[in-house]
Amino acid sequence: MTHGMVFRLVLLVLVCSSAFSSGAHEAAAKNVPIDARCQQVVDSPPWRFRGRTLVETPDITAPELRRANALLSSRCRTESERLLASYRQARPDDFHADFLEARLMWTGGDDGGTEELLNATLHAPTDLWVFMDLLMLEAIESPSAALRDELLEINRNPAFPPSAREMASQAGRRLPNLSREQYEAYFWADLDYESATPMACKIHNLAFNLVVVDGRYPDARKLLESPKALAANCSGVEGNRILLAETYLFEAARISAGPSPSNAALVSKADEVLRGDWTGLSMFIMGRPQYAAIAPFVSSQMAPSDVDASGRTQLCNAVMTASVQAVQTQLDLGADPNGRCEHSSLLGYIVRGASTQPTRADWQRQIVRMLRAAGAQVTPQDVASCRNPDNGPACRNSLLPLLEP
């Protein structure tokens, strides 16, 4: 970087400082109550990493600024802006506030010139969040194998605060040209610490990749049966139970193609994990390669007339998820082709959602043929809706010939 560039960068910092202050004052004027979680935020100790001592705002000593910075790091943005605005009013000439304003600009999405602002601050060699933000920029502008290793090292390093470790993980997973093993390493590292993402959701993210993407059922089962997974509590718990049940049933399918005395213990385990409600698993496997192997076990537990919490049959869900194989399976099991689906008939649901996309039009045609062959009756409303010019040409061109006598 040339001396002339440094001079221009310093000018940018000073100009942007005054521009941001008005926005911070506006946030402070809102007088939003401080979140209880944010009241507990305190400064972080320094961290040692690759020969560096990283400190949050190392040359800032004002308690107000240090707390405002810690609040921003803890995702308490409104409280940080309010405290900074108050500090600016009391000490408008303190240039140390420029750094925090640059961080607020960066985290607020104003990235045009943020890199220059960060490089222009006095904190760049040792400040933790300048260091992290510059790594994020490097991940976007010049990703490399060395950066991949550095981000993973931070993600695994217990000396870093959880927010920094999670930031490193998210950036690392977005790097290009990762192998499956390299990509997965970040997910495993995430399980070693608590952070803003609940543990159950971290486990779900990894287990989903193991099951759905890689088909590694033994690894997924071991993970999902761990005490950490069983004790987790967030919206991912239901998904984790479905994934665990699928691992049991996939193993059962390797023993025999359907329920039998030899795999009864595994089917019983799946039922216990699902707490007797197989509707979520039924929909989860539709349209996936594993459907054929697991569908016989679901069919042994659910009749075609059974409905889920939303009042939908398996056939309705199969139509909604565009699973041609699941539609045929349900019809073979005796599902009603004239059943209801989302306040409409099954045919009516397809007609009203007709698409111009070639791939969607193909499965729509296949399912309409299946339903008609099974005895689905076309209503005058279905034909009128398909002919209606207001609905566009997709239904007329693709489905109407299959609906008319």
Any domain includes 229: yes
d(CA 361, CA 394): 8
Task: Report yes or no on 99 lying in a domain.
Answer: no
- pLDDT value, residue 14: 30
Range of weakest confidence among 101-105, 268-272, 277-281, 366-370 = 101-105
pLDDT of amino acid 218: 95
pLDDT at 367: 95
User: Does 129 have pLDDT greater than 80?
Assistant: no
Q: Quick one: pLDDT at residue 198?
A: 84
In a domain, 223, yes or no: yes
Write down the pTM of the prediction. 0.66
Task: Write the DSSP symbol of residue 127.
Answer: B
pLDDT at 34: 55
The Cα–Cα gap between 147 and 315 comes to 48
Residue with tokens 């600024």: 65
Q: Is residue 402 part of a domain?
A: no
Distance of CA 210 to the CA centre of its chain: 16
* Predicted pLDDT of residue 229: 78
> What would the two tokens of residue 314 be?
């398996």
With b meaning 16 or more CB within 10 Å and e meaning fewer, what string describes 348-372?
bbbbebbbeeeeebebbeebbebbe
pLDDT for the residue numbered 266: 98
The set of residues, in sequence order, having a beta carbon less than 8 Å from that of 42 and lying 6+ positions away, is 70
Give the C-alpha separation, 210 to 180, whole Å. 10
Please check whether residue 212 lies inside any domain of the structure: yes
Q: What span, in angstroms and rounded, lies between the C-alpha atoms of 225 and 298?
A: 21
Residue 201 · residue 236 · CB < 8 Å: yes
pLDDT on residue 73: 80
Domain limits for position 239: 198-302
Closest of 374, 290, 297, 362 to residue 328, by C-alpha:
374
In a domain, 298, yes or no: yes
Classify residue 192: in a domain, yes or no: no
* Residues β-bridged to residue 340: 345
**Which of 346, 345, 347, 316 lies closest to 330 in space, CA to CA?**
316
Residue 309 inside a domain? The answer is: no
* Six token digits for residue 48: 């040692």
Range 325-332, long-range pairs (CB < 8 A, 24+ positions): 325/287, 325/291, 325/292, 326/286, 326/287, 326/291, 326/295, 327/367, 327/370, 327/371, 328/370, 329/295, 329/299, 330/304, 331/370, 331/371, 331/374
- DSSP for 80-98 reads HHHHHHHHHHH-TT-TTHH
* CB neighbour class for 84 (10 Å; exposed up to 12, middle 13-18, buried from 19): buried
Instruction: Using the predicted structure, report yes or no on whether residue 133 has a pLDDT greater than 80.
Output: yes
Long-range contacts of 43-47, Cβ-Cβ distance < 8 Å, separation of 24 or more: 43/67, 43/70, 44/70, 44/73, 44/128, 44/161, 47/128, 47/157, 47/159, 47/160, 47/161
Average pLDDT over every residue of 394-401: 87
Query: Is 50 exceeded by the pLDDT of residue 274?
Result: yes
Which value, to the nearest 10 degrees, does the dihedral of the CA atoms of residues 225, 231, 232, 236 take? 50
156-161 average pLDDT score: 92
Q: Count how many domains the chain has.
A: 1
Which residue has better confidence, 320 or 49? 320
Structure tokens at 334: 């005796």
Query: For residues 371 and 363, what is the distance between their CA atoms, to the nearest angstrom?
Result: 12
What is the structure's pLDDT at 122? 45
- Per-residue pLDDT tens digits for 278-323: 999 999 999 999 999 999 999 999 999 999 989 999 999 999 998 9
The confidence score (pLDDT) of residue 56 equals 64
Q: What pLDDT is recorded for position 342?
A: 87
b (16+ CB within 10 A) / e for 105-137: bbbeeeeebbbbbbbbbebeebbbbbbbbebbb
